Amino acid sequence: MWNFPFVPPTASKEGEGISLLYWTITLLAVVFGSIVLFGVIYLAVRYRADNNAVDRSNATESDLRVELAWTLIPLVLALVMFGWAAKLYADIYAPREGYYEVFVIGKQWMWHCQHPNGVRENNVLTLPAGRLVKASIISQDVIHAFSIPAFRIKRDAVPGRYNAMYFTPTKPGEYHLFCTEYCGTKHSEMIGKVIVLPEKEFQAWLEKGGQGLATATTGMGGAATGGALTLAQQGEQTFKALGCNACHLNPNSAVKVPDITKTWGSDIPLADGRTVKGDEAYIRESILNPGAKIHAGYQNLMPPYQGQVSEEQLVQLIAYIKSLAGDSSGGN
Ligand code: CUA
């Protein structure tokens, strides 16, 4: 009929639920809006001042049954919509297991994406169909928002903080990728595409180091590189380049340092008596500003690396530290 896209295609499992909820709420709004609109028109015409055909004596002032009906029915409907929406929200933002993780870094004005096996893409994100994906999102400068309308998902890219989002692409194809938070002069150019491949093609693409896919290397400045080293191996290189191994992982170190092979996933006692989880946020903070949370029993001797490591390098270093603890989700 029309070739006018009122709504983007729905290409993720979570998006299907959101689309259904969206159309249900729209339908309810139309139904209740119509009842009010046509009710007002009908009553205004029937009870107009000069209509003598109606009997105005013994007018009913209130009817408890009507009051209860128009209070309880909308209340129940609203609570059902709330519960339904909360479930869909939790599917996307609450931690889930068994995912393929990608790291997304927003910066003025591009999207930089990293895969665990070391493949990197700019303004393009290639994903497998039918698999749960976790996107870990951070910004290198100002607040951006990572949005894929076809998946019905969006999450802010905030400086200094890893935000996660879970979704399952369903249909192979190409979809828009947007920044949906005004972030400066070229905000409107901070766009790209998401390419969803069937699982087998995706694996082949990853193994070829992100090459061999014509669409990924053309247009919008997108190009995939790397793949020779996994993210964790790149992290190891960065670790050595920054000289971290002078103290850490060095049995002959003159400086007493916490054992970073045990950092990931453990409960870390702090000098001030608190306990923190050894997660991405803790590792990131301890690299940039080691004095913020001192491990109990150690002194604040490490220099801060604020301004010396990029967000890409931080993602690599975290993958490396994860791999030291035996967690291979960083691609080792
Ligand atoms: Cu980045 Cu708008």
Which H or E run contains 84? helix 64-93
**SS3 state of residue 219:** coil
In the predicted structure, residue 308 carries a pLDDT above the cut 90 = no
Q: Is 187 close to ligand 1, i.e. is its CB under 6 Å away?
A: yes
Distance 161 CA to ligand 1 centre (A): 16
Distance 192 CA to ligand 1 centre (A): 12
Joined tokens for residue 181 = 């938070």
> Model confidence over 248-264: pLDDT tens digits?
887 777 778 888 888 88
Q: Is 196 close to ligand 1, i.e. is its CB under 6 Å away?
A: no
Of the options 2.160.10.10, 2.60.40.420, 3.90.1150.10, 1.20.1250.20, the CATH number for the domain spanning 1-35+67-227: 2.60.40.420
In the predicted structure, residue 299 carries a pLDDT above the cut 60 = yes
> Model confidence over 88-119: pLDDT tens digits?
999 999 999 899 999 999 999 999 999 988 88
Torsions phi, psi for 48 (to 5 deg): -60, 155
Find, among 176, 61, 64, the residue nearest to 111 by Cα: 176
Rg of the chain, C-alpha, whole Å = 27
Q: Is 96 close to ligand 1, i.e. is its CB under 6 Å away?
A: no
Please tell me the predicted confidence (pLDDT) of residue 225: 65
> Model confidence over 53-76: pLDDT tens digits?
778 788 888 899 999 998 999 999
Q: What pTM was estimated for this model as a whole? A: 0.75
Cβ atoms of 327 and 264 closer than 8 Å: yes
Phi-psi region of 210 (alpha: psi -120 to 50; beta: other; left: phi over 0): left
Distance 61 CA to ligand 1 centre (A): 56
- Per-chain mean pLDDT for the chain: 86
Please enumerate in sequence order all residues whose Cβ is within 8 A of that of 55, keeping only pairs 6 or more positions apart, or say none. none
What is the distance of C-alpha 213 from the center of its chain? 25
**What distances in angstroms separate CA 261 from CA 18, 175, 248, 250, one per listed residue?**
41, 40, 9, 12
In the CATH hierarchy, which top-level class contains the domain 231-324? mainly alpha
- Strand 224-226 relative to strand 119-122: parallel, antiparallel, unpaired? antiparallel
- DSSP designation for 67: H
Distance 129 CA to ligand 1 centre (A): 27
Distance separating alpha carbons of residues 221 and 120, to the nearest angstrom: 13
Q: Which atom of ligand 1 is nearest to the CA of 142?
A: 1
Q: Is 181 close to ligand 1, i.e. is its CB under 6 Å away?
A: yes
Q: Which atom of ligand 1 is nearest to the CA of 180?
A: 2
Q: Is 113 close to ligand 1, i.e. is its CB under 6 Å away?
A: no
What is the number of alpha carbons within 13 Å of residue 234 lying toward its C-beta?
22
Q: Where in the chain is the domain with CATH 2.60.40.420?
A: 1-35+67-227
Give DSSP secondary structure letters for 257-271. ---GGGTTTSEEEBT
Task: Give, using CA atoms, the residue closest to atom 1 of ligand 1.
Answer: 144
Give DSSP secondary structure letters for 281-319. HHHHHHHH-GGGSPBTT--S-SPP-TTTS-HHHHHHHHH
Q: Is 106 close to ligand 1, i.e. is its CB under 6 Å away?
A: yes
Q: Where in the chain is the domain with CATH 1.10.760.10?
A: 231-324
